[in-house]
Amino acid sequence: MAVEGDHLAVEPVQRPQPEVAVLGQLGEAEVALEGALEQGPDRPGLEEDVRARSRCSSDRRSDSTCSDLIQRSSSTGGILPDGPSGGLASVLGVGAIELRGVVKSFGPIRAVDGLDLDVPEGICLGLLGPNGAGKSTTMRLLTGQAIADAGELRVLGHELPRQSKEARALMGVVPQLDNLDIDVTVEDNLAVYARLYRVRDVGAAVDKALDIARLRDRRRDAVEKLSGGMRRRLLLARGLVHEPRLVLLDEPTVGLDPQIRTELWTLIGALKARGTTILMSTHYIEEAERLADEVAVMHEGKVISRGSPSELIATHAGRQTAEVYAPPQRLAELRAEAEAAGLRVRAAGPAIAIVGSERAENGTVPADAVVRAATLEDVFVLLTGEEAE
């Protein structure tokens, strides 16, 4: 191992580094396309599919053929047999993540309990669940830091845990807790991870990551001297230093103040626009609503419902929710009446929320109720029985 000046010379692995410009500077679809074509190891002849997908990721909601395409890919089940030139699934760009019947126990606790989860390439999937639902354990399974007791796991066509290292090379991970090296400079923090991910041109990768984090002018400062928001931006940029196709975000904004949260949402939004596949765990409803194309509600180690936020709302909560504020005695009576009329009711702080109130017959919903559009929060509480944040 040669020591050159201050840095260890690192042998680059021959992985072509796509020339993807800084977030937001290039047309999103082109970047997604280039990234997908150049990074994918063996996907000749499939430009068509990738092109279609990158169009989807840049303009999903307005293009119905796109949702068809996504739908079709997810409904094929994802795990396709290996073709002659490697995992067909990965070639098609169908499943960035495919989990089947995954079980993980810690002693008597079943943290993950028969989890099925598909994340097609190019979408942002929000894994929404209350504390202890198994979100972090799922993330750890995907990075090979927990080994499943049962089930099949595939990440970008690589089977886990056997090919976990190959999968990790293509994946970026942003942890819930800040684990930057605080005495070290901003740029050295990034450079170390560029080396760990075998990036060939470390200097260029660091520059791009600095632009993402908007920390170019602070590059030589120790991390210790950064503000909380800057540190979180750096943490996110560190996970992107090798321009991964798939990014895992474990509760990216938990415990942060609203301003920093908004800053991070902007960055994650830009990443999404670039066509990067994102799996993001959260227990903030608003975060899922703003960022996720699809939400999987996780409870006690399983996905109990999945769909776009509007689909989930339509399926589980209907159109309207009526919130009633009254003394506890009266609330209990109203609740009993609504439930007797076949409506679903949940506690909402000091009030009760009668979900699907548009179906209520006259008189079930009191006249002084506040009627509002149904939200993902209604769905979350109905499904998991937990108060949302």
Partner 1 sequence: MSSAAEPVPSSQPGAAPPPRTMRRLEPAAIAGVMSRELANFRTYWRGTTFSSVLEPLVYLLAFGLGLGATLVDEVEGVPYIQFVGTGMVATAVIFSSALPAMFGTFVKHRFQNTYEAILAAPVDVDELVTAEMLWIAARSAVYGCVPLIVTFFWGLPPAPGMLLVPLFAFVTALGFAGFGITTAAIVAKIDQFNYVTALFITPLFLVAGTFFPINGLPEFFQVIAQANPLHQLVELVRGGAFGFEWWDLARFAFLVAFAAVTWRIAITRLRARLIQ
Ligand X SMILES: Nc1ncnc2c1ncn2[C@@H]1O[C@H](COP(=O)(O)OP(=O)(O)OP(=O)(O)O)[C@@H](O)[C@H]1O
* Interaction site with Mg ion (CB under 5 A): 135-136
Tokens of 129: 């669940």
Helical spans, DSSP H, in 171-305:
186-196, 202-213, 228-238, 258-273, 285-291
Q: What type of residue sits at position 163?
A: Q
For 344, other C-beta atoms within 10 Å of its C-beta total 18
Task: Point out which span in 60-68, 71-79, 85-93, 118-126 binds partner 1 (CB under 8 A).
Answer: 85-93
Q: Measured between alpha carbons, how far is 306 from 289 in angstroms, rounded to an integer?
A: 13
Among positions 25, 64, 84, 108, the unique one binding partner 1 when judged by CB under 8 A: 84
Residue 133 CB, nearest distance to ligand X (Å)?
A: 4
Residue 183 near which of Mg ion, ligand X, partner 1, none (CB within 5-8 Å, type-dependent): partner 1
Tokens of 127: 């894994």
- Are the CB atoms for 285 and 380 separated by under 8 Å? yes
198 binds partner 1 (CB under 8 A): yes
Residue 61 near which of ligand X, Mg ion, partner 1, none (CB within 5-8 Å, type-dependent): none
By C-alpha distance, which of 173, 294, 186 is closest to 244?
Answer: 173
Residue 187 CB, nearest distance to partner 1 (Å)?
A: 10
Smaller CB distance to partner 1: residue 183 or 217? 183
Concatenating the DSSP letter of every residue in 118-151 gives EEETT-EEEEE--TTSSHHHHHHHHTTSS--SEE
Residue 109 near which of ligand X, Mg ion, partner 1, none (CB within 5-8 Å, type-dependent): ligand X
Tokens of 80: 């396709």
Q: Of 279-308, which residues contact ligand X (CB under 6 A)?
A: 283
Task: Point out which span in 116-124, 158-166, 328-336, 345-353 binds partner 1 (CB under 8 A).
Answer: 158-166
- Label residue 250 exposed, middle or buried (CB < 10 Å: 0-12, 13-18, 19+): buried
318 binds ligand X (CB under 6 A): no
- Are the CB atoms for 190 and 237 separated by under 8 Å? yes
By C-alpha distance, which of 292, 298, 290, 317 is closest to 130?
Answer: 298
- Are the CB atoms for 46 and 91 separated by under 8 Å? yes
Q: Measured between alpha carbons, how far is 93 from 87 in angstroms, rounded to an integer?
A: 10
DSSP label at 153?
A: E
25 binds ligand X (CB under 6 A): no
166 binds partner 1 (CB under 8 A): yes
133 binds ligand X (CB under 6 A): yes
179 binds partner 1 (CB under 8 A): yes
Q: Of 208-267, which residues contact partner 1 (CB under 8 A)?
A: 222
The site string for ligand X over 87-116 (x = CB under 6 A, - otherwise) reads: -------------------x--x-x-----
- Which chain residues interact with ligand X by CB under 6 A? 106, 109, 111, 129, 131-137, 283
- Which chain residues interact with partner 1 by CB under 8 A? 1, 6-16, 41-42, 44-45, 82, 84-87, 106, 140, 143-147, 157-159, 163, 165-166, 168-169, 171, 173, 175, 177, 179, 181, 183-185, 188-189, 191-193, 195-198, 222
